[in-house]
């Protein structure tokens, strides 16, 4: 290798390869330790990027809330989730109950944080302790210095009637009612705790969609933060 070069050609090629491919190659070669190391590396890389985007969203919502008020936060979130839930609701629509629970778990695993799943006769319960996005923002102290993300002071629908509510977590309200607004059945319903960051959030997937509480379904009266 030239003294002016930092990497070998093989190392440069590896820098640009997906970790998934390197892991599979290591497994095929019988190199379990390298596969484990690459798995840990992939998790760190994805979690870092996940948290950058999470904080980016929290910062943008904080700017909107401080500059333009609660209604602007409400309208910004509503516009996005109205679009998202039309496609997501259809993706769930033709699935059997087992597949719906697997899809819900897959979505939550995307936050790269462990959770527990419980099942009873009525529903599946996903216990997030903490939630891998909004809950971790609270645990990490991001609503205090130096980030000082915004909290919504007024109790309203998007704060689950709680005061001093973390702005990032207000998206859960729109996620809850979005499918029924688009004419689909309710998807997993996220219910934040009273003590955010200290108690687990829970998501409920009802086996019979008609058993979903009415408060988590869209109504024609909804449409602003007022």
pLDDT, tens only, 138-189: 999 999 999 999 999 999 999 999 999 999 999 999 999 888 877 777 889 9
Q: What are phi and psi of 133, to 5 degrees?
A: -120, -80
Per-residue pLDDT, 218:
67
Per-residue pLDDT, 29:
97
β-pairing verdict for 165-166 and 189-191: unpaired
Residue 165 pairs in a beta bridge with: 152
Per-residue pLDDT, 2:
64
Domain boundaries, the chain: 9-216
Sheet with 123-128: strands ordered across: 116-119, 123-128, 201-206, 189-191
pLDDT, tens only, 102-137: 999 999 999 999 999 999 999 999 999 999 999 999
How much is the pTM?
Answer: 0.89
Q: How far apart are CA 122 and CA 212, in angstroms?
A: 10
Q: Which residue has the higher pLDDT, 187 or 40?
A: 40
Q: How far apart are CA 51 and CA 77, in angstroms?
A: 19
Per-residue pLDDT, 14:
92
For 215-225, b/e burial (b = at least 16 CB within 10 A) is ebbbeeebeeb
**DSSP code per residue over 84-146:** HHHHHHHHHHT--HHHHHHHHHHHHHTT----EEEE-SSEEEEEETT-TTHHHHHHTTTTSTT
Contact 203, 126 (CB under 8 A): yes
Q: How far apart are CA 204 and CA 181, in angstroms?
A: 18
Per-residue pLDDT, 86:
80
pLDDT, tens only, 62-97: 999 999 999 999 999 999 998 888 888 788 888 899
């Amino acid at each position: 290798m030239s003294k002016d070069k930092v990497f070998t050609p093989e190392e440069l090629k590896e820098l640009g390869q997906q970790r998934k491919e390197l892991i599979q190659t290591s497994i095929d070669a019988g190199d379990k330790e390298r596969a484990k190391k690459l798995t840990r590396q992939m998790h760190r890389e994805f979690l870092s990027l996940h948290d950058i985007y999470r904080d980016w969203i929290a910062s943008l919502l904080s700017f909107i809330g401080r500059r333009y008020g609660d209604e602007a936060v409400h309208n910004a979130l509503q516009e996005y989730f109205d679009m998202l839930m039309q496609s997501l609701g259809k993706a769930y629509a033709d699935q059997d109950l087992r597949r719906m629970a697997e899809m819900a778990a897959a979505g939550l695993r995307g936050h790269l944080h462990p959770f527990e799943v419980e099942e009873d006769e009525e529903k599946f319960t996903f216990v997030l302790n903490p939630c891998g996005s909004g809950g971790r923002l609270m645990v990490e102290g991001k609503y205090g210095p130096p980030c000082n993300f915004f909290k919504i002071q007024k109790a309203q629908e998007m704060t689950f009637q709680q005061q001093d509510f973390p702005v990032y977590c207000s998206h859960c309200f729109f996620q809850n009612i979005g499918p029924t607004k688009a004419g689909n059945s309710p998807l997993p319903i996220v219910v934040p705790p009273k003590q955010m960051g200290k108690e687990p959030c829970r998501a409920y997937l009802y086996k019979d969609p008609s058993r979903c509480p009415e408060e988590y379904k869209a109504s024609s009266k909804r449409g602003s933060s007022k």
